[in-house]
Structure 1
Amino acid sequence: MKRLLLALTLVTVFILSGCNKQDQTLEEKLDTENEIIIEDTKEYLKNIFTGEDIEQEKIPFFVIIENSKMARPHSGLSSADIVFETLVEGGITRYLALFSKDVEKIGPVRSTRPYIQDITVAFDIPFAHCGGSNQAIDLIKRKNLKSINEMYNSSYFFRSKDRKAPHNLYTSSDKLRDYISKNGYTNRYNFNMNFDESIDTSLESASIIKIIPSKYTYSEFRYEDGKYLRFQDGKEDIDILNNKQINVSNVLVLFTDIKDLNNESKHVDVRILGRGNGLLFKGGKVEKVTWVKERETDHFDIRNEKGLRVNLLKGNSWIYIIDNKSQVIY
């Protein structure tokens, strides 16, 4: 009888133990299933300059940034939504960078030119700079442009001790947004480009791009893992703020007329209004495009050879405005 009771006890323990294991396995399975079906229910906004999801919309602004050799490496450029690059005097280029993110150090900041300001008008976004050509300053006054000039607003900029002037002037998103808020600049900004993830596989491949705006400087982009890694004069273009190589999703080249003004400062004039040809690089492919900008308040209207407006890939963009005679090799 004792043996029978012992056997029944062992069987019962075994059965209960098996049930516990089954229940545990079922619970683990349910936990795993629950983890799989959990969804992010947070509602996101769209960054109109990149097409990306953002949690909070922040005041955007432009900064005019120097690109001489003494200005490199730059600070904050990797965080820009859009960078326009075009020629200034001496065969060097200058950047007009648009930011909507928080960036603690941006620069070096340099002076403005009339054709650079022609780009900002369409966006209706304030631009930070330090002085400018006589014509540019005159246009700011006459047209009441949204200028943030360090020469009259030095508290919204700062000097870095690790570089010599004039290559050591910087600003930040906090400082510029503070200025914008205090001075009542409206935030009626806009942009006309759309974004998607489609790539026309029938287009010509272009994984390495070399852009030569003058005989004094050139840039390269190499397509890797969905991004174009940027090189400047044969070297990796590093953002010293995060020690990372600058990369973008889209590279757009717009050809125009650039002429020497033959003045003492050797300034040039870049035609921003009118129309011209261009090249759009995205997803390792290249597409021939045309651009039209009839009025200052118009954005560049970019269309393909079929006359359809092109879309950009989601992410940041680098836009060159170079002379019709400049070389682009790919």
Structure 2
Amino acid sequence: MQHLPARPAPRALRGPRAPRTVRAARVLTPLLVSGLVLAGCGGGGDEGGQEEPAGDEPTSAAAPQEPATWPLTGLEVEGGGDADQPHPAYVVKIDNTASSAPQRGLHRADLVVEELVEGGTTRLAAFFHTRLPQVVGPVRSMRASDIGIVTPAKATVVTSGAAPVTIRRVQQAGITFIGEGAPGVFRDGARSAPYNLMADLADIGTRARKSAPDPAAYLEWGTPEDVPQGRPARRLEAFFGSHTTTWEFGRGTYRNVGSYAAPDEQFEADTVLVLRVEVGDAGYRDPAGNFVPETKFQGTGAAMLFHGGRMVRGTWSKQGLGAPLTLRTPQGPLRVPAGHTWIELVPRDGGDVRVGR
């Protein structure tokens, strides 16, 4: 397996800025696979015509160009490059039960969203754009909830599939997804099905045809100084029904205490963002007869931002499934410090968040 460099530590930005993504023309090999489903398939003077006389005033120097930042982390691009990539952003649907252990590749993700699925358990939507690891998984199926999660990033989803009603809705939303049978999606013989489907994103990325725009900034990125002081909060528990995700703050980052990830592949969160969301019925049941929930990731709700061992309360809003996510406090916009963020979509009804000092 190719050695990948360790994740760089977050670099402080001088202030919030939008990512600069300068697209260079490229010719890349299309991804032609049976498992790939494409959804949707002059001059002029003053009014008087008089020229201003030449003077001795010095000409002003051009304003320095803002450094490029990665859209899914807000971090500056190393080496003065730009954030354009020869591949789209990818979202890998990863199982989040004990059967998934050890999860692979999470430490290379830019951003992770945890969402409710049937039975009160959760599934992860892990975003990859900056770096594409060779082994990610175990890969599981999509949910209708993913439409609101994935669409703002214009991401391609790597999945084991979905119920027919979900596939129709995902296609109608214009989302591209890759499933089993595509190059780069494989079964690991050392694992038991269905928890043995894995993805080689490095291979998938080299085959991609960059037809979609670069992802927009997923959050409004800023610096730690942009976050109100809030209250001390070094521990939080996000309760989904039958599953609880627990985070503890130490040495500058948040650690998922009960993570199923391999010990050296755990996601280190610079920020944990908890959003209280409405959950409805997706309209069908799983093979075990459980109703399948659908997170309504649009509208408004309460938000809790955890950074630096402190917590700030605010609200979130999203005008539609494909719209960007915005955060506010009574004092104004709430910007997320640039870095690696884990978003908890905790049900407004039936879920809970417990905070400890």
Which TM-score applies when normalising by structure 2?
0.72
- Please say if 1:211 is aligned against 2:232: no
- Please say if 1:64 is aligned against 2:93: yes
Q: Quote the residue 1:320 is aligned against.
A: 344
Q: Quote the residue 1:174 is aligned against.
A: 202
Q: Distance in 2 between matches of 1:253 and 1:201?
A: 16
Cα offset, 1:208, TM superposition: 0.9
Asked if structure 1 preserves the Cα contact closer than 8 Å seen for 2:252 and 2:308, the reply is: yes
Q: Quote the residue 1:110 is aligned against.
A: 140
**Cα–Cα, structure 1 residues 118 and 92, in superposed 2: closer, same or farther, change >3 Å?**
same
Q: Secondary structure of 1:118's partner? A: helix
**Cα–Cα, structure 1 residues 225 and 111, in superposed 2: closer, same or farther, change >3 Å?**
same
Q: Quote the residue 1:155 is aligned against.
A: 183
Which stretch of the first structure deviates more once superposed, 190-199 or 293-302? 190-199
**Cα–Cα, structure 1 residues 186 and 264, in superposed 2: closer, same or farther, change >3 Å?**
closer
Q: Secondary structure of 1:253's partner? A: strand
Q: Distance in 2 between matches of 1:162 and 1:156?
A: 17
Q: Could you say which structure has the larger radius of gyration?
A: 1
Cα offset, 1:239, TM superposition: 3.5
**Cα–Cα, structure 1 residues 113 and 245, in superposed 2: closer, same or farther, change >3 Å?**
closer
Q: Quote the residue 2:307 is aligned against.
A: 282
Q: Secondary structure of 1:278's partner? A: strand
What do the CA deviations read for 1:206-243 (whole angstroms, capped 9, x no partner)?
A: 001111111x21111111111001122xxxx2632x72
Q: How does 1:232-247 map to 2 (within 5 A)?
A: 232=258, 237=259, 239-240=261-262, 243-247=264-268
Cα offset, 1:244, TM superposition: 4.5
| Matching residue's letter, 2:343 | I
Cα offset, 1:154, TM superposition: 2.9
**Cα–Cα, structure 1 residues 164 and 294, in superposed 2: closer, same or farther, change >3 Å?**
same
- Please say if 1:146 is aligned against 2:176: yes
Q: Distance in 2 between matches of 1:202 and 1:220?
A: 22
Which stretch of the first structure deviates more once superposed, 49-58 or 106-115? 49-58
Q: Distance in 1 between matches of 2:151 and 2:116?
A: 19
Cα offset, 1:199, TM superposition: 6.4
Asked if structure 2 preserves the Cα contact closer than 8 Å seen for 1:238 and 1:246, the reply is: no
**Cα–Cα, structure 1 residues 170 and 190, in superposed 2: closer, same or farther, change >3 Å?**
same
Identify which of 183, 186, 198 aligns with 2:212. Answer: 186
Asked if structure 1 preserves the Cα contact closer than 8 Å seen for 2:90 and 2:127, the reply is: yes
Which stretch of the first structure deviates more once superposed, 103-112 or 129-138? 129-138
Asked if structure 1 preserves the Cα contact closer than 8 Å seen for 2:106 and 2:266, the reply is: no
Cα offset, 1:258, TM superposition: 1.5
Q: Quote the residue 2:256 is aligned against.
A: 230
Unaligned runs of 5+ in 1: 1-42
Larger RCO (CA within 8 A; separation ≥ 6): 2
**Cα–Cα, structure 1 residues 157 and 255, in superposed 2: closer, same or farther, change >3 Å?**
same
Asked if structure 1 preserves the Cα contact closer than 8 Å seen for 2:110 and 2:340, the reply is: yes
Cα offset, 1:171, TM superposition: 0.7
Cα offset, 1:157, TM superposition: 0.3
Cα offset, 1:179, TM superposition: 4.1
**Cα–Cα, structure 1 residues 50 and 130, in superposed 2: closer, same or farther, change >3 Å?**
same
Asked if structure 1 preserves the Cα contact closer than 8 Å seen for 2:100 and 2:260, the reply is: no
Q: Quote the residue 2:224 is aligned against.
A: 197
More helix by share: 1
Asked if structure 2 preserves the Cα contact closer than 8 Å seen for 1:146 and 1:185, the reply is: no
Q: Secondary structure of 1:108's partner? A: coil
Asked if structure 2 preserves the Cα contact closer than 8 Å seen for 1:288 and 1:305, the reply is: no
- Please say if 1:301 is aligned against 2:326: yes
Asked if structure 2 preserves the Cα contact closer than 8 Å seen for 1:238 and 1:244, the reply is: no
Which TM-score applies when normalising by structure 1?
0.78
Cα offset, 1:89, TM superposition: 0.9
**4+ residue runs over 4 A deviation:** none
Unaligned runs of 5+ in 2: 1-65
| Matching residue's letter, 1:133 | A
Q: Quote the residue 1:164 is aligned against.
A: 192
Asked if structure 1 preserves the Cα contact closer than 8 Å seen for 2:96 and 2:260, the reply is: no
**Cα–Cα, structure 1 residues 245 and 157, in superposed 2: closer, same or farther, change >3 Å?**
closer
Q: Quote the residue 1:257 is aligned against.
A: 278
Q: Distance in 2 between matches of 1:157 and 1:89?
A: 25
| Matching residue's letter, 1:243 | D
Q: Quote the residue 1:85 is aligned against.
A: 114
What do the CA deviations read for 1:155-180 (whole angstroms, capped 9, x no partner)?
A: 22011122111101111222221343
**Cα–Cα, structure 1 residues 262 and 112, in superposed 2: closer, same or farther, change >3 Å?**
closer
**Cα–Cα, structure 1 residues 314 and 261, in superposed 2: closer, same or farther, change >3 Å?**
closer
| Matching residue's letter, 1:285 | R
Q: Secondary structure of 1:176's partner? A: helix
Which stretch of the first structure deviates more once superposed, 318-327 or 43-52? 43-52
Which stretch of the first structure deviates more once superposed, 165-174 or 197-206? 197-206
Q: Distance in 2 between matches of 1:143 and 1:260?
A: 19
